[in-house]
Structure 1
């Protein structure tokens, strides 16, 4: 992971950030009664649904180590024990054995009935948590086990149950139509207070079943402005800072910055159903024209990784399984006119589009750009309105497994198939990957599916993004998690 060089913040920027920060961290206690220091965290996005675990807010609960799931994932993406200690599959049914001695933050015990309640609420929610999209799942408690049954045989059930959106909470969380996680988790920190979209507080839970947290608590402030988050780290008002913008990173002390590879790939999708890129030789010409290292250097200031495939360094097993590809020879564009679409919501993409325009025009294409907000361009992208589309795409979604992303984006029946790809060899490889049991065999099948997609040149991966995290000098044990599921753990403390 790359460390960044330090510079001084311009006076005007510092003044602006100071105004933004006024009152953000005021009154936040640094030291608890037992002498330990509470951890002050500046997070980018405020809650969107009152911290309901059935939404993306669940990832905040996970990053604060307050809500837990039956299983978690190791670095390879394989399921390992958490609230469940063991599991086994029999056809469509998986049986999970629960950990003994676990209590919720309100003092009630973790039981099979509690797990059934939480998972059933998720499975019957409208809309469902994203991890259960298209999955028909039922749960039944029996003694110290729960059985999870799906409509079709699903080798990914344990990985699905690792999603923070399927956290197990106490009965008190489900008293109304919404789900309230305050005081209802099982993790080393107990959520005690949520102040709307401005802040949240957590205290150490001394009844935790695992390792006791080293810090007495966490004080979270939501700071959407990136300059203000960077200023909070610089001024010492925050101990851990999420998602520092590239523009601010070089202004900070290099020893406070860590760049974490993300499971996110910036890809140029080429429309294969109609227009210029129905010709595989012209798709190959576009692929050959793209200088991805120049984009990484010029647009991302070197703070991204040049793509070697659709899956990047956040999946450390991927590159070692790849073999050389047989590629179609490029044809001659001859001035062929194409329109490239992208969106403004991710600040770098319009500049990426301009760089691609120059590279493709140099290769002989005539290129027009169309840039809008994502909400106003997604439907056109999916309907095939553009010859090409630039997208920053998460590659492992919620299960920690990339097969779902590959199917969604490149299967002939995929729901997010911007390239409109319909290739029998790709479909066959994707089906095999989806059906293969987890572990080394599935990883090899996934890479074979990736190779089948790349051989069509329907998608040209350019780079893999990184997230920049700030940790103050006294912080020890903060997590740097590519999946953004962990941040403050039981081992995190401020010395």
Structure 2
């Protein structure tokens, strides 16, 4: 591998760990569904309309609807066609053959050259794409070329990265058409016509309130999912999204037909058992504690980090959400073949020991209220207070949390992080804990752990599954022994569709580009 490990550590970025569209959905609209639009809501507005720069729930939703990917991942983690009809790959390169007749949202041809230009921009460190390291590897030198006559796009890396093809399904790798590439400011603001390559075009934009999307008549490159349960009904011609922040409101709107879809992390889901609703639970959220290890913060001291872990009981945290989740031993749940199973690596709950360190210590705790109103955050606050700490809690919406914590602009010591494994491996979690802090990277806790970096490099440099498991085990051991991260539990998310609504459920979440309206 031609990239050095120090270069990897210093150049790593990471995908944002905020919630996906489904698990932040709440609220509704009072207009009803009389115009046959598919209606749903999210808790916070978009940070950006640029798919490469998305780092929050609504960003991901908009990107999936407006920008198509070369490939997608099915529920069994197999890779299925998107804009590309076929591909050949090694850990260091991949060549994709595009479908014939692709077009952008303004009707212009989508050529291999445009696809290559979009991917080059995505890979360019100057773009600041948080998901790029998941696709190409942190610090990778990426060469992207095109052959318009053959409809092929070739990606070459300077070292092996075994997730190259599957990670191109991430929303950040959505293809931006030429108008968007020429006007990055307009792309960021959502005002560029013809920027999209995906199935929906944004036709009405009211920042902070609502958005309307219209299905393109000329789009044919839909993800070829092979999941057993295919959605019923016809593709939604119009999708209307509103921004409201309360799950109880979402439940009210869904029950009256003002929404066709909502998702719940709290008790309101119990209202939809039967009665014509489809409820699909999924262990989507993985919850952790992460520490701010910048100079001057208490998190620089391993004794402090261990004491916080001793004060918090992951099983009690799970009970806050009804005990429906799984208490974790790593930064993934047991569905991952790479998850840690060694309970000895997990710091045991010991409130008495925690109190010896935390008594009188001031702690600034930060967490998103997008998961059951932030009830887990409140539990952590009370557990730390019981250990004698003076705890100030900021229980904020996803967008604010992403800015303050992931963006490195907040004043915090400990955060309750809700993480999604978009890449299908442990890579996204590892990259959130390595590399430079914002704004150069996305190591939001400013963690320095050489063993974790070494394990990450080794794991992603091989396609041998046994070797990969061994390397991931070493990486997680390094992180857990230093208490850089404290695993808590999964929080099941329940996706609920009303009588009219349906969609593909893939890898534990819905694909908003596949919303259906049943007759």
Q: Please classify the TM superposition score into its range, dividing by the shorter chain length.
A: 0.7 to 0.9
Contact 1:71 1:81 in 2 (8 A): yes
The answer to whether residue 164 in structure 2 is matched with residue 163 in structure 1 is no
Contact 1:104 1:184 in 2 (8 A): yes
1:53-452 alignment, distance < 5 Å: 53-56=51-54, 59-64=60-65, 66-75=66-75, 77=77, 79-84=79-84, 85-89=86-90, 91=92, 93-124=93-124, 127-132=127-132, 134-142=139-147, 143-174=150-181, 176-177=183-184, 178-179=186-187, 185-187=196-198, 189-191=199-201, 193-197=203-207, 198-203=210-215, 205=217, 208-209=220-221, 214-226=234-246, 227-241=248-262, 243-244=263-264, 246=266, 248-253=268-273, 255-267=277-289, 269=291, 287=309, 290-297=312-319, 299-312=320-333, 315-319=335-339, 322-323=341-342, 325=344, 332=353, 335-336=356-357, 337=359, 338-343=361-366, 345-346=368-369, 347-357=374-384, 361=387, 366-372=388-394, 374=401, 378=405, 386=413, 389-394=414-419, 396=421, 399-409=423-433, 416=443, 418=445, 420=447, 422=449, 425-437=451-463, 441-443=467-469, 445-452=471-478
TM-score normalised by length of structure 1: 0.73
Contact 1:341 1:381 in 2 (8 A): no
Mapped to 2, the partners of 1:370 and 1:123 lie a distance apart of: 39
Q: Secondary structure at the match of 2:389?
A: strand
TM-score normalised by length of structure 2: 0.70
Contact 1:192 1:201 in 2 (8 A): yes
The answer to whether residue 35 in structure 2 is matched with residue 29 in structure 1 is yes
Q: What CA deviation, in whole Å up to 9, does each residue of 1:257-280 have, x standing for no partner? A: 433322432225497999999997
Q: Secondary structure at the match of 1:409?
A: coil
Mapped to 2, the partners of 1:418 and 1:348 lie a distance apart of: 23
Contact 1:101 1:209 in 2 (8 A): no
The answer to whether residue 38 in structure 2 is matched with residue 39 in structure 1 is yes
Residue-pair matches, total? 449
Q: In the superposition, relative to structure 1, how do residues 200 and 456 fare at CA in structure 2: closer, same or farther (>3 Å)?
A: same
Mapped to 2, the partners of 1:230 and 1:206 lie a distance apart of: 35
Offset at 1:233?
Answer: 0.6
**Structure 2 stretches lacking a partner, 5+ long:** 1-26, 134-138, 225-230
Q: What CA deviation, in whole Å up to 9, does each residue of 1:177-225 have, x standing for no partner? A: 42357565454x4426123331213236365145798325132121323
Contact 2:265 2:491 in 1 (8 A): no
Mapped to 2, the partners of 1:468 and 1:117 lie a distance apart of: 38
Q: What CA deviation, in whole Å up to 9, does each residue of 1:304-362 have, x standing for no partner? A: 4322322125x54345x735546789895673334443115432354122332266x3x
Mapped to 2, the partners of 1:439 and 1:160 lie a distance apart of: 17
Contact 2:69 2:168 in 1 (8 A): yes
Mapped to 1, the partners of 2:298 and 2:114 lie a distance apart of: 56
Higher mean Cα deviation, 266-275 or 201-210?
Answer: 266-275
**Structure 1 stretches lacking a partner, 5+ long:** 1-16, 31-37
Contact 2:160 2:462 in 1 (8 A): no
Mapped to 2, the partners of 1:195 and 1:328 lie a distance apart of: 48
Mapped to 1, the partners of 2:406 and 2:201 lie a distance apart of: 39
Higher RCO (C-alpha under 8 Å, 6+ residues apart) = 2
Mapped to 2, the partners of 1:301 and 1:100 lie a distance apart of: 50
Mapped to 2, the partners of 1:175 and 1:376 lie a distance apart of: 27
Mapped to 2, the partners of 1:322 and 1:390 lie a distance apart of: 24
Mapped to 2, the partners of 1:77 and 1:443 lie a distance apart of: 17
Offset at 1:164?
Answer: 1.6
